Amino acid sequence: MDAHPHGADAARVKVELAEVFARHGAAYQATHRLVPVQYRAMRAIEACRTAALGGHVERCEACGWLRYHYHSCRNRHCPKCQTLAKERWLAARRAELLPVPYFHVVFTLPHELNALAQGNPQALYALLFQSVSATLTEFGENPRWLGGLIAATLVLHTWGQTLTQHLHIHALVAAGALATDGHWIHPRRGFLFPIQALSTVFRGKFTAALQHAFTRGPLKLAGATAPLTQAHAQQHFIAQLYRHDWVVYTKRPFSGPQSVLDYLGRYTHRVAISNHRLVSCNDTEIRFRYRDYAHGNKMKVMRLDPHEFIRRFLTHVLPRGFMRIRHYGILANRAKHEKLAQARTALDDPPLPAAATQPESVEAFWLRVASLDIHQCPHCKAGRMSATGLIPVPCARAPPLPPP
């Protein structure tokens, strides 16, 4: 595999992740052991919006033109199934935004933890959320910085631009905190929390939680023949995590609610690679665009062997049921209604009307984002499309899942 600058002669043929799995998925599965959630993701993405999932037929009431709609897979790792889900999620978040600036803070795990995360994704991802949320909560409650309850949304990302493992959490934190007496505490120093101190506390909380996790049960390094059960091996592993400072950085605060929503839209429902980044797929390689942050953010194209491409993508398939977007402090589910109302009162900010937070229909979504009336006939531009029948799912049974 190699990488080279993205030139003007790059292939313009539309390539989708589904094509990669259709072309190379069976061969990959024959030579690699997959967990069920990875197998389901591959199968869903390959079948998405094809006859394999069934659908319905529409006919124009004016000209009789037929249109075939195939069902979406709705798998959260599918690059074709996130847009509407993202927009509906954002609509719900509009009601939770406060009229204050928001800070974007990124917490990154060192690469020394990659193999442990691959072997124990559920446990390591949970520890990452636990450590980041506890760090932010502790700084928010500290009177030296704020002295109250913060409002934070955390989003887990596991990938870098080239699909390698890069475990980090994007945190969106309101500037300020809700005091116990109900008033709003604004940051006093023009910034939220000191970054170096955040990094030190974050590392300490994560390594302490990891040490405790070792006592609860064996954790296995990916590719290792045995889990880390010996105390001296565990201590040596943790000691390696203190060799370098951990990376925590913050970006400039967002100026208003719309910029916050723009940020959320970019990060919350992103998958490891989108279809528009794929350049080509053939028998010997997959080519895709990536941004080289180490060299001036230049756009380049990487070539990977198909099996290596699939392996990298499947590394980022989340454990079944694992929530990659979580809310803390004022936004925590158990007290959100009460605390959010208190924060709005303190900031003299009335809540949005209920109609503004209702889930957006598919029709309204396409009309808003693309000025597209999905019921208008694309053939005659005059008639209306109406459903006339179903496209059944093929009778052939899907292959069985691999053993757990």
Q: What is the DSSP letter of 141?
A: H
Structure tokens at 107: 């917490």
For the chain, 404 residues long, the average pLDDT of each consecutive 10-residue run is 44 82 97 95 96 94 94 93 79 85 94 96 97 98 97 95 96 95 90 94 98 92 84 93 94 76 78 95 97 90 98 97 95 92 94 62 73 90 94 67 46
Classify burial at 180, counting beta carbons within 10 Å of its beta carbon; exposed 0-12, middle 13-18, buried 19 or more. Answer: exposed
The first and second tokens of residue 215, run together, are 């006592």
- Over residues 354-366, the pLDDT tens digits come to 655 566 677 777 7
Euclidean distance between CA atoms 229 and 215, whole angstroms = 9
> What b/e readout covers 217-256, taking b as 16+ CB neighbours within 10 angstroms?
eebbbeeeeebbeeeeebeebbeebeeeebebebeebbee
Give long-range contacts, CB 8 A cutoff, 24+ apart: 24-28.
24/306, 24/307, 24/310, 25/310, 27/306, 27/307, 28/306, 28/307, 28/310, 28/311
**What are 89-92's contacts with CB under 8 Å, separation 24+?**
89/268, 89/269, 89/325, 90/261, 90/264, 90/265, 90/268, 91/356, 91/357, 91/358, 91/359, 91/360, 92/357, 92/359
Half-sphere exposure at residue 379, Cβ-oriented, CA atoms within 13 angstroms: 13
pTM of the model: 0.88
Given this model, what pLDDT does residue 253 score?
77
**Average pLDDT value for the chain:** 89
The DSSP 8-state label assigned to residue 400 in this structure reads P
- pLDDT value at position 8? 41
pLDDT at 259 (0 to 100): 81
Domain coordinates of the chain in residue numbers? Answer: 83-270+330-357
Residue 302 CA to residue 184 CA, distance in Å, equals: 49
How would you class 7 by CB atoms within 10 Å of its CB: exposed for 0-12, middle for 13-18, buried for 19 or more?
exposed
Please report the pLDDT score of residue 355 as a whole number.
55
**Residue 4 pLDDT:** 46
Using alpha carbons, list the distances in angstroms from residue 266 to 170, 228, 271, 297.
11, 37, 10, 17
